Amino acid sequence: MKLLSLLIFSLLFSLVASLSVQAAPFSAAVYNRPEVQQELAYLQKHPSHLARSRARAETWLPHLLPMLRQRQLPLELVWLPVVESAYQTGAESPVGAAGLWQFMPATAQHFGLIIDNEFDGRYATLSASRAAMQYLSQLHQYFDGDWLLALAAYNAGEGRVARAIKKSGTRDFWQLPLPEETRRYVPRFIAVQKLLAIPYTRTPSPLTEHKIQGPIALTQLARHLGVPVAELKHWNGAIKGQMLSQAREYSILVADKGHYQADPHVVIAPQPLFMAPAAGLDISATGALFSAGTAIFDAAPPPGW
């Protein structure tokens, strides 16, 4: 049913006229909302949470910012993985969402990511980023340029947001009958991107992407790229076996000379980030980070924050 819904959504999207996506997605009034002020107050009180995520992001910003510019998407969206995964590329939630952008398997495959016994494209950070940006762009156009609705749909699913609009008779995100985790997810991102501000790269990325055509054995791939097999696996958490069997293109990362050891902040091994299941989310399990009816992080922040 979810795959059918995604197919219908994509067909509808193809009928929408192509429009340039504008930067600066939020008005000044949005930052004065009490929901956003609550998130800002928490993050300003605990700056180390954002500092750790910002440090992890450094490897990826030189790759992700050009992708956003190419798609005419707001550069601030590069901070969405801070909310999704605290910029931990190996993040895995208890409900099965995985990677920097926390894709569920069905959604990932719908947007062209490989998931099989040998390779999980949700952990292929650059491929997953392209898929996430495609989805965000579609959502933005589907909801007539309203980034609040698009972000809510990224978390809860476009179908759920569309039903909430129909039920309530309003397109005002703040008035929609959405799940509690979604109503907190959106203001959290607004607060995060405001505090981290316009993104920029401090240093070049040590990683180079190679587009590799399968099928190919991992040993053959390592010889072709001139790196040890261990290094390939170190930087490519998507690789699960010794062979890439599909006759299609794979995104493989290789570190520059002298950068064999990964930044210790970039965690490749899967880590559960969230405190409770969040059933029904199309693409993201981050909603479970916010337990309804309780103070934010009433016990402890998730690992990585």
Question: Residue 217 has what DSSP assignment?
Answer: E
Q: Is the pLDDT of residue 264 over 60?
A: no
Copy the structure tokens of residue 180: 């509690």
Instruction: Find the mean pLDDT for residues 27-42.
Output: 94
The per-residue pLDDT for 259 is 55
The two three-digit tokens of residue 244, written as one number: 């890439």
Read off the pLDDT of residues 80-107 as tens digits, 9 standing for 90 and up: 999 999 999 988 888 888 999 999 999 9
- What per-residue confidence (pLDDT) applies to 257? 67
Q: How far is CA 20 from the centre of its chain?
A: 21
Q: 214 or 14: whose pLDDT is higher? A: 214
pLDDT at res. 268? 27
What pLDDT does residue 24 have? 53
55-59, 126-130, 197-201: which has the highest mean pLDDT?
A: 126-130
227 phi and psi angles, rounded to 5 deg: -135, 155
pLDDT at 233: 87
Q: What is the pLDDT of residue 305?
A: 43
Which residues are tagged catalytic?
A: 84
Checking DSSP bridges between strand 207-213 and strand 243-244, what pairing results, if any? unpaired
Query: How does pLDDT run across 39-63, given as a tens digit for each residue?
Result: 999 999 988 889 999 999 999 999 9
Give the helix ranges, DSSP H, for 71-174.
80-85, 105-110, 125-142, 147-156, 158-168
- The identity of residue 158, as a single letter, is E
Query: What pLDDT is stored for residue 141 in this prediction?
Result: 96
Mean pLDDT of the chain: 80
User: Where residue 197 falls among pLDDT bands split at 50, 70, 90?
Assistant: confident
pLDDT tens for residues 61-73? 999 999 999 999 9
User: What's the rounded Cα separation, in Å, for the pair 237 and 220?
Assistant: 18
Question: ∠ CA(104), CA(246), CA(213), 5° rounding?
Answer: 105
Query: 77, 138, 80: which is closest to 107 by C-alpha?
Result: 138
With CA atoms as reference, report the closest residue to 83 among 161, 200, 182, 174.
182
Phi/psi for 230 (5° steps) reads -60, -40
Mean pLDDT of 273-286: 30
